[in-house]
Amino acid sequence: MTVKYMLLIYSNAESWAGLSAEQREGLSRSHLELSRELTEQGLLVSAAGLADPITTRTVSVRDEGLTTTDGPYAEAKEHLAGFYLVECETIDEAIGYAARMPDARYVAVEVRPVMDTSGLEM
Amino acid sequence: MSDFEPLLREQTPQVLSALVRHYGHFDLAEEAVQEALLAAAQQWPEEGVPDNPKGWLIRVGSRRLMDLLRSDTARRRREENAASLAAPEEFVASGPEIDDLGGRDDTLTLLFLCCHPALSAASQIALTLRAVGGLTTAQIAAAFLVPETTMAQRISRAKRSIKQAGSSFELPPEAERDARMGAVLHVLYLIFNEGYTASSGTDLHSAELTGEAIRLVRGVRRLLPDDGEVAGLLALMLLTDARRPARTDADGGLIPLADQDRSVWNKEAIVEGEALVTDALSRTRLGPYQVQAAIAAVHDTAKRAEDTDWAQIVALYQVLEQISDNPMVTLNHAVAVAMASGPKEGLALLEPLEADGRLADHHRLEAVRAHLLEMSGDLVGARESYLLAARRTTSVPERDYLQSKADRLDP
């Protein structure tokens, strides 16, 4: 049966800044085309781009106390830039769509199956 | 729609197949039937159910289909030749009024069409539920946990693919029928599994899907009462679904077969399923659904888990392995052998599966290995395997179950 896959788009500030205007335009166009195709195929569950990590707050609760810090949790150069949630019959199909994102060339796109609340008695 | 829903759903495939047989245009006919169903749901509560509900639905559906054909033709004409002056009506023969089907039931033809090989399994399922099951797009979307727009796209794409494949509305030739019948039964089996694997008792959609699959396969059986595999699939569904009340705890956690409270199994379903498979095995050509149903019957008729006739289950898995090339069968066979002859013999059967790439990274292979290692007394190895299996599964209840098995072996 089909499985839902999260396609996580990674970026980093330097590689984004290094893109030319045409490249950025091409990137947007590729995503528009891909979203349209996934919608037409009935595979798209959801998709969105995420705002710049500068807008991120990381929330943690310890001993009933809430603290927030600026920026994403992981201190890496790479950050999560957007995602697609698609429903595919195999992981290879999902990998195929991830590979069509220009982001896969600039940094990387991660493909992760989504956990399911169903199961069989084992 | 609730009061009339069973009646409407019962009529859906017959109304749709009448329209398709008469006018062709599966895609538009399907549209028209959905609208006729909607009209019935609005009008019948006020005006009462007509004497001949099927005739009523066919009449309303036909009229709607004519409208759709006209606007479709008109649209195409506008696109192709805006200057043409011909009236759109001239392009559409106004078909005869069809009130009934002359006793024929085209449901099977409709099922073959929905399970067309040009469609993906996901599309076959969606289209079957909608065209043959009479479920709304919203209901199907909810059952598969996707947005309604996603499911709507999937269905309209499936309809387009069928149109492009140019399928005529008739049963496939005899030679092809067996292969196509296999696809139909497989789709019904997938619909059942989609419902059965949903674990949580609060998920209404799961019970609806298994119920729908059983209803559909019962319908196929009425049309083909002598087909052993149809009987076998119905038996398998009944014997499996019979355990539903016992297979999860209050929190939605999975309870393995051996630990289930057998007193809450559905006895009526077990009796019906066992009778069906016994009859099919004695007088029809053997097939994999019958053998799987026979295995389920051995489990279901054991009074206690320890009374299970594992030797008979091993023999049935040997038969099943000969008629279906599926590594999952070998895996289940290994469990049965371990129960009948001991874990060493079972573990030996897992070895060829490591080499067989189809299952090498599958959590179920690791889970079985863990279970057999635990039986053999290798608790350290078992714990490692349970943890690896828990990481590999994408199912929350399976992960929780495997994790708890590992925790119990914590050194």
| pLDDT tens profile B95-118 | 445 555 455 668 888 999 999 988
What's the helix, strand, coil split of chain A in %, to 5?
Answer: 35, 40, 30
Nearest-Cα residue of chain A relative to residue B119: A41
Measure in Å the smallest separation between the Cα of B134 and chain A Cα atoms.
Answer: 20
Q: HSE-up of B303 (CA within 13 Å, CB side)?
A: 0
Of B153, B198, B200, nearest to A39 by CB-CB distance is B153
Apex CA B377: angle with CA B373 and CA B381, to 5°?
45
Is B399's Cβ below 8 Å from some Cβ in A? yes
Tell me, what's the pLDDT at B191?
93
Contact B133, B33 (CB under 8 A): no
A40–B153: do the CB atoms touch at under 8 Å? yes
Tell me, what's the pLDDT at A121?
79
Tell me phi and psi for residue B100, to 5 degrees: -145, -175
A39–B396: do the CB atoms touch at under 8 Å? no
Tell me, what's the pLDDT at B79?
65
Nearest-Cα residue of chain A relative to residue B391: A115
| pLDDT-flagged residues of chain B (< 50) | 1, 82-96, 101, 200-204
Q: What is the dihedral of CA B55, B60, B64, B66, to 10 degrees?
A: 50
Measure in Å the smallest separation between the Cα of A116 and chain B Cα atoms.
Answer: 5
Predicted TM-score (pTM) of the model is 0.86
Q: Where are the alpha helices (DSSP H) in B301-362?
A: 310-323, 327-341, 343-355
Q: In which region does residue B166 sit, left (phi positive, over 0), alpha (psi from -120 to 50) or beta (all else)?
A: left
pLDDT tens digits, one per residue of B39-49: 998 899 999 99
Tell me, what's the pLDDT at A122?
73
Nearest-Cα residue of chain B relative to residue A122: B256
Task: Say which amino acid occupies B288.
Answer: P
B146–A87: do the CB atoms touch at under 8 Å? yes
Whole-Å CA distances, B204 to B137, B199, B265:
16, 10, 19
Tell me, what's the pLDDT at B90?
40
Is B151's Cβ below 8 Å from some Cβ in A? yes
B157–A40: do the CB atoms touch at under 8 Å? yes
**Cβ partners under 8 Å of residue B238, min gap 6:** B214, B269, B270, B272, B273, B276
**Cβ partners under 8 Å of residue B99, min gap 6:** B52, B55, B58, B59
Is B397's Cβ below 8 Å from some Cβ in A? yes
Contact B65, B29 (CB under 8 A): yes
Tell me, what's the pLDDT at B100?
52
Q: Hey, which residues 125-144 in chain B have their CB within 8 Å of chain A?
A: 126, 144
Of B120, B144, B198, nearest to A89 by CB-CB distance is B120
pLDDT tens digits, one per residue of A86-122: 999 999 999 999 999 999 999 999 999 999 878 887 7
B395–A118: do the CB atoms touch at under 8 Å? yes
Apex CA B251: angle with CA B246 and CA B253, to 5°?
60
Contact A88, A5 (CB under 8 A): yes
- Looking at the DSSP bridge assignments, the partners of residue A87 are A4
Is B121's Cβ below 8 Å from some Cβ in A? yes
Is B157's Cβ below 8 Å from some Cβ in A? yes
Position of tokens 């829903």? B5
Mean pLDDT, residues A64-90: 89
